[in-house]
Chains A and B, each alone.
Chain A
């Protein structure tokens, strides 16, 4: 008890965003921890580097909240691996987080004086729903 909560020492990822990214990644299909980390890194063009030490606590936290479920299966090279799957409530959560994220990004953009650029993008982005 009383231990520090994991923080991003490098400041590379805002708190809470990792959960969202993980959920978003799982939209594309069930995956195990390593795959999730790799997908986030690749799709962000290696800008976002997942601090892997916080990935697993995050996955377990999501599981505890019922947003993902897990099962044991065989990995690509046929090893026993724990796969995570997005649940229905996880999908709802992702929608909520996505919209919150959009609002936040827009607000920050406004303050930083990039209002027009972001504003132009935002409406279309907001329409973009999470694929089933």
Chain B
């Protein structure tokens, strides 16, 4: 009702005006009828009525909602004042937009990736389990569970409703069919109850049953939505049909919903794990390649459930005291487990954007303080004339709120673009597919916009508005003014500089560790090396001889290709990841005490691999072509492995290693240089056996050339196609690309933080410049007098510089101090750099001082060039 009146008050005013006019004219008519002259009649009528304007105003007031009215008036006032200084307004809005935009984008990512519950049924009862070597501390966050243990847990556990097994390291060749190319797709091997444990139903077809999930069952496979659309054109009749995976027939039983992404976003097909994996793996207690997802019963607690399993695992360890059998169980919520790698980096970036926004607010506050200083006289006069103090404060805050609101709108657009870019740039991020702007994000924008506007407006508004007399006196004498404002501005600036230093230090450390990563010695050739992977399907290449024959033919053809300098084959190339490890014992040594074990990563390579990849053979020799099949029990150790296995410095050549108990021992024939399995991890012991042994069916082909190695990809693929038409290759990329991909997050984190730090630095420099420029104008006449009295210009320059740089010094000190604490939080993200790296700190300090000096030099120089006559005349 009131609101309607408020909205319609203009129309109502017109009505009242008309009413009053009618009233007056009737009065006039009556007066005329009484015999007055026209003039007199009109005069009397108006006299009697009184002020019609007052009546209208009164009614207007009656129809008004005070809140709206004031708000509207303040808004108009703010827009008008801002419009008067477009330069200031544009700068302030841009600053706000950057701060709010960056925050919004990061908040959206953090919310989608870290905070939003998983899209499964009751996701806070889903637990990811892990096995622990000692006590109950899992060394990394991968599951690392043996399927044998899983079976025992499932039998014994009373607190879990369901438990499901998964494995994400498998991929399948999908055969060429219907004119389509063969391709290699990442697969999830899961126990039949995985989907029901998660609480997900297939979008099409049926779920796995216990009957599918055993040795000897018919092959069954579930497709991902994306794969189904892409490869089978979204044709629903594919359900029930057969497809060939690794040259074996599988019946398609269904298609998962479009949003379903487990264990990874890239997973394209799912197959039952007990059908795919041989019993020796699924019954083992020391083959740790599985993940377990379990659903807690509604009345069970996680701690209780985990300690239950821990007891079971301790019993397993007592019954099977093998060195690789783990002795404890722990677990985390499934969500925490999935995002654990992204937590620190994302929160770090969010903190960085928070700093940027805070700096932006301080900067806008600073600009507003400067402006309120120039408007001090106006404010003082208005206050002296009885202007409501609250009203004056409100006007200032409204002004900064208007700035923030425009900035917030622009920031939202910025964030939108940023998120779109980020989804493409970081599609490796867990749950990247869920990142998007929604209602909560818009609310967040509104919230931080309001908070920023309030913060930026409060600081200047509450600063010295009350001392009317003082201000009026002050402004009448221009040279003594502004002490108060200046102190406030310097304080704000010191805070800004401090935050900037923290950001710069963080960015510097991340950048340095990124560069360290980038120039890490992989231990092998990385320039002009092309890699691609392929796997021979067991169904078609059953015999070791078949595999060896294929590989030998392949490498022969590749080496003969024009442009190829050398080529090699290895199961897992440097930088490609863990790729399997094994426990070994030195035959010539006494047995190790229980609980101790030797462990090394395992690789199979062809004889030419070491030469092709320029991995030095420091002692002994490489494999020969005759060391094949039954004669392949020879081994090359990496230097780190030698150090681990033969700590006393004996000569390993000619000694023997045993893997497992049954297999024939391997003779050590050579020592190779160390290589890294992952660029960000330290070198680990590694052992190689001949690929010609015929055990391995998956290999990486490495091709080296003098230049333009990428152009060799097609010829190599053609050679493979010439040997087997159905064999797809995957992950075709250069070694540099592969390394770049594995450090994409380091590059991403450091680049973004650096960008934020640079923004902060620019803002701080602008702030420094602004304050000193303002000070210079304030002290014009004082400086003029000084110069007139004979002060040296260099002296003036020095004085102004010292004055202007004071906040920079204070801020730098504060920043370095708090930076020293802040970097502890990002220790996990650093590689090869200590958190308190003195060169980074020193570099930051130097850069900040340099920028500050430049920012202050201009106004200081201008002050020293002042013409005293002119300066004093403007007094």
| Cβ distance A18 to chain B, nearest Cβ, rounded Å | 14
Contact (Cβ within 8 A) B62 A61 = yes
Chain B binder among A21-29, A51-59, A96-104, A108-116: A51-59
CA distance A72 to B758 in the complex (A): 68
Interface core residue of B22, B51, B61, B69 (most chain A CB under 10 Å): B22
A3–B61 alpha-carbon span in the complex (Å): 9
Q: How far, in angstroms, from A9 to B427 measured CA to CA in the complex?
A: 78
The answer to whether the Cβ of B565 comes within 8 Å of any Cβ in the partner chain is no
The interface residues of chain A lying within 8 Å CB-to-CB of B5 are 64
Contact of A82 among B19, B25, B29, B62 (CB under 8 A): B19
A-B contacts, 27 listed (Cβ < 8 Å): A1-B64, A1-B66, A1-B70, A3-B58, A6-B58, A32-B23, A33-B19, A34-B22, A34-B27, A52-B23, A52-B48, A52-B49, A52-B50, A53-B50, A53-B51, A53-B54, A54-B55, A56-B19, A56-B55, A57-B55, A57-B58, A60-B62, A61-B62, A75-B26, A79-B22, A81-B19, A82-B22
Kindly state the separation between the CA atoms of A87 and B692 in the bound complex, as whole angstroms: 106
> If A1-B66, A34-B22, A79-B22 touch, does A53 touch B59 (CB 8 Å cutoff)?
no
List of A residues within 8 angstroms of B238 by Cβ: none
- Least distance between B715 CB and chain A CB atoms (Å): 85
Partner of B18, one of A60, A61, A64, A80: A80
Interface contact B50-A51, CB-CB below 8 Å: yes
A15 part of interface (Cβ distance < 8 Å): no
Is A34 a contact partner of B26 (Cβ separation < 8 A)?
yes
Which 4 A/B pairs are nearest by Cβ-Cβ distance?
A: A53-B50, A1-B66, A34-B26, A34-B23
In the complex where A64-B5, A82-B15, A82-B18 touch, is A77 in contact with B54 (Cβ < 8 A)? no
**Closest residue on chain A to residue B30 by CB atoms:** A38
- Chain A residues with CB under 8 Å of B25's CB are 79
User: Residue B23 contacts which of A33, A51, A77 (CB distance < 8 angstroms)?
Assistant: A33
In the complex, what residues of A have CB within 8 A of residue B50's CB?
51-53
Interface of B is mostly: helix
Chain A residue with the shortest CB-CB distance to B20 = A56
The docked-state distance in angstroms from the alpha carbon of A26 to that of B519 is 96
Pairwise interchain contact B59-A57, C-beta atoms closer than 8 A: yes
CA distance A37 to B417 in the complex (A): 67
Closest chain B residue to A59, Cβ basis: B19
A3 contact set on B, CB distance < 8 A = 58, 61
| Contacts of B22-38 to chain A: CB distance below 8 A | 22-23, 25-27, 29
Q: Which residues of A contact B48 (CB under 8 A)?
A: 52
Q: A1-B70, A75-B26 are in contact. List 5 more A-B contacts (CB 8 A).
A: A32-B19, A33-B22, A53-B54, A53-B55, A56-B19
Inside 8 A of B866's CB, which chain A residues have their CB? Answer: none
CA distance A85 to B61 in the complex (A): 24
The interface residues of chain B lying within 8 Å CB-to-CB of A51 are 50
Shortest Cβ gap from B21 to chain A (Å): 10
Inter-chain contact total with CB atoms closer than 8 Å: 61
Q: For residue A37, which residue of chain B has the nearest CB?
A: B23
Bound complex: CA A28 to CA B18 (Å):
24
Interface residues of A (CB under 8 A from B): 1, 3, 6, 32-34, 37, 51-54, 56-57, 60-61, 64, 75, 77, 79-82
CA distance A32 to B16 in the complex (A): 12
**Which residues on the A side are within 8 Å of B58 (C-beta)?**
3, 6, 57
Q: How far is the CA of A64 from the CA of B4 in the complex (A)?
A: 11
Cα A60 to Cα B59 in complex, Å, equals 8
Q: How does the 8 Å CB contact mask read for B57-92 relative to A, with 1 for contact and 0 for none?
A: 011011010100110000000000000000000000
Q: How far is the CA of A111 from the CA of B646 in the complex (A)?
A: 122
Given the contacts A53-B49, A82-B19, A77 and B55 also touching, CB distance less than 8 Å: no
How far in angstroms is the closest Cβ of chain A from B831? 64
Residues in chain A near residue B27, CB distance under 8 A: 34
A3 to B20, CA, bound (A): 22
Report the bound CA distance from A80 to B15 in whole Å. Answer: 11
Contact call B20/A81, Cβ cutoff below 8 A: no
B22-A56 in contact (CB<8A): no
Q: In the complex the two chains form, what is the Cα distance from A6 to B69 in whole Å?
A: 21
Q: Complex Cα distance A79/B62, Å?
A: 27
Q: How far is the CA of A3 from the CA of B57 in the complex (A)?
A: 10
**Quick check: B51 and A60 within 8 Å, CB to CB?**
no
* CB neighbours of A54 from chain B (8 A): 55
**A51→B70 CA distance, assembly (Å):** 31
Name the distance in Å between A61's Cβ and chain B's nearest Cβ.
7
**A32 contacts across to B, CB distance below 8 A:** 19, 22-23
Write the chain A residue with the least CB distance to B19. Answer: A82
Partner of A75, one of B15, B22, B55: B22
B-side contacts of A53, CB under 8 Å = 49-52, 54-55
Nearest-neighbour CB distance to chain A for B62, whole angstroms, equals 7
Most buried by B among A34, A75, A79: A34
Closest CB of chain A to B334's CB: distance in Å? 58
Q: Which residues of B contact A77 (CB under 8 A)?
A: 26, 29
Query: What is the CA–CA distance of A33 and B69 in the complex, to the nearest angstrom?
Result: 29
A53 to B46, CA, bound (A): 10
A57 contact set on B, CB distance < 8 A: 55, 58-59, 62
Assembled-state Cα–Cα distance A82/B18 (Å): 9
Q: Smallest Cβ distance from A84 to chain B, in angstroms?
A: 10
A128 to B507, CA, bound (A): 91
Query: Which A residues lie within 8 Å of B23 (CB)?
Result: 32-34, 37, 52
Task: List the A side residues contacting B70 at CB < 8 Å.
Answer: 1
Q: B16, A56: Cβ atoms under 8 Å?
A: yes
Cα A3 to Cα B59 in complex, Å, equals 12
Give, as a whole number of angstroms, the nearest-CB distance from B44 to chain A.
12
Alpha-carbon distance between A123 and B730 when the two chains are bound, in angstroms:
109
In the complex the two chains form, what is the Cα distance from A81 to B50 in whole Å?
20
In the complex the two chains form, what is the Cα distance from A57 to B12 in whole Å?
A: 12
Which chain A positions have C-beta within 8 A of B59? 56-57, 60
Tell me which residues across on chain A come within 8 A of B51, comparing CB atoms. 53
Return chain A residues, CB-CB under 8 Å to B54.
53
B350 CB → nearest A CB, Å: 43
Q: Which residue of B lies closest to A49 (CB)?
A: B48
Q: For B18, what are the chain A residues with a Cβ–Cβ distance below 8 Å?
A: 80, 82
Cα A64 to Cα B52 in complex, Å, equals 20
Cα distance A81–B64 in the bound complex, in angstroms: 25
Separation of A37 and B48 alpha carbons in the complex (Å): 11
Contact with A along B170-185 (1 / 0, CB 8 A): 0000000000000000
Known: A6-B58, A34-B26, A80-B22. A60 touches B49 (CB 8 A): no
Alpha-carbon separation in the docked complex, A61 to B18 (Å):
18
